[in-house]
Amino acid sequence: MAGQTVTIFGGSGFIGRYVVSRLADRGWTVRVAVRHPRQAHFLKPLGNVGQIVPLRARLQSDTEVRAAVQGADAVINLVGILAAGGPQTFEAVQHLGAKRIAEAAAAEGIDRFVQISAIGADPQGEAEYARTKGLGEELVRAAIPEAVILRPSIVFGPEDGFFNRFAAMARLAPALPLIGGGKTKFQPVYVGDVADAVVAGLERSDARGKTFELGGPHIYSFKELLQLLLNTIRRRRLLVPVPWAIAYAQGSLLQLLPDPPLTRDQVKLLEQDNVVAADALTLADLGIDTPHACEVIIPTYLERYRPGGRFVPQTPEG
């Protein structure tokens, strides 16, 4: 797509850096629309001189959002949060923010639009995260019927907030929590596969106006994921079941912290399985037939959590 311009909201985040790299390789000029452009400067070496341009675009500003999409050929919205803080509320970011971006794109006549949502997104959902993701989907579709919506399960990769967080906990804590008994099911999807799905959603005409659910090749319980993690970093830790009532109480307290490890809303999300629906369009429908498994990828970036690092003996910690 040489010579074409795409604006990526949230392009400096976990998923965004992979999307930016892939689109730059394919010849797109990439505008990275973020709150703090200096924090996106690390992306510039991923393209040629002037190919990747960070710019300021706060989702609460109509003027800045309109300026970010003006003259673009396509728009991608990757913005999302797992915990609210200050003006960055679920409503402001995932509902009204998605609405503002889509309406600005529609006003520019842009009909190539990719929205990253999440499995479980539901305008009537009890969890605020799921509800605002669902409302965002509805408003994007209303503004741009041809928009492509992607709903990943939990996303893993070198900068992820799941395996890295629990691995860091395992270095210090004698036990890890199994919220609700650890029975919730997930279908983790590799960040590189998600980025490939974004590119396909942007460039494939047969994807227009459709919703896809993105999951990896295997389904795991929460307990199985923690066991996989511990085996990977070669540490022995107790896995302690935490009843839902206690988890909600812990979430209520922990969400008061600046970077909370758990919130009440996240506990609510854990009450529902997070796997691709049987009748959903999937990665395969976007031409991604062999998604990467956790077992293949996570050892490549979790070795720093092993006792002794990459040179640890082939036996678990005593």
190-201 pLDDT, tens digit each:
999 999 999 999
Give 311's pLDDT tier (boundaries 50, 70, 90): low
User: What are the structure tokens assigned to 67, written together?
Assistant: 């300026």
Q: For residues 65 and 225, what is the distance between their CA atoms, to the nearest angstrom?
A: 39
Question: For the whole model, what pTM was predicted?
Answer: 0.94
Cα 137 to Cα 4, 115, 134, 176, 281, distances in angstroms: 25, 8, 5, 34, 16
Rounded to 5 degrees, φ, ψ at 123 are -60, -20
Query: Which whole number is the average pLDDT over 65-72?
Result: 97
Q: For residues 287 and 77, what is the distance between their CA atoms, to the nearest angstrom?
A: 21
CB 100 within 8 A of CB 59: yes
> Has residue 63 got a pLDDT over 90?
yes
> Has residue 277 got a pLDDT over 50?
yes
Task: Name the CA radius of gyration of the chain, rounded.
Answer: 20
How many C-beta neighbours within 10 Å does residue 131 have?
21
Cα 236 to Cα 17, 181, 240, 259, 306, distances in angstroms: 33, 19, 13, 26, 11
Give tens-digit pLDDT for 42-53.
999 999 999 999
Which residue shows structure tokens 């040629």? 48
Give 314's pLDDT tier (boundaries 50, 70, 90): low
Q: Give the bridge partners for 54, in sequence order.
A: 32
- For 149-169, give the DSSP string: EEEESSEESTT-SSHHHHHHH
The pLDDT assigned to 312 comes to 57
Task: Identify the structural domains of the chain with CATH numbers, from first to last.
Answer: 5-146 (3.40.50.720)
Query: Which whole number is the average pLDDT over 156-184?
Result: 95
> Has residue 2 got a pLDDT over 80?
no
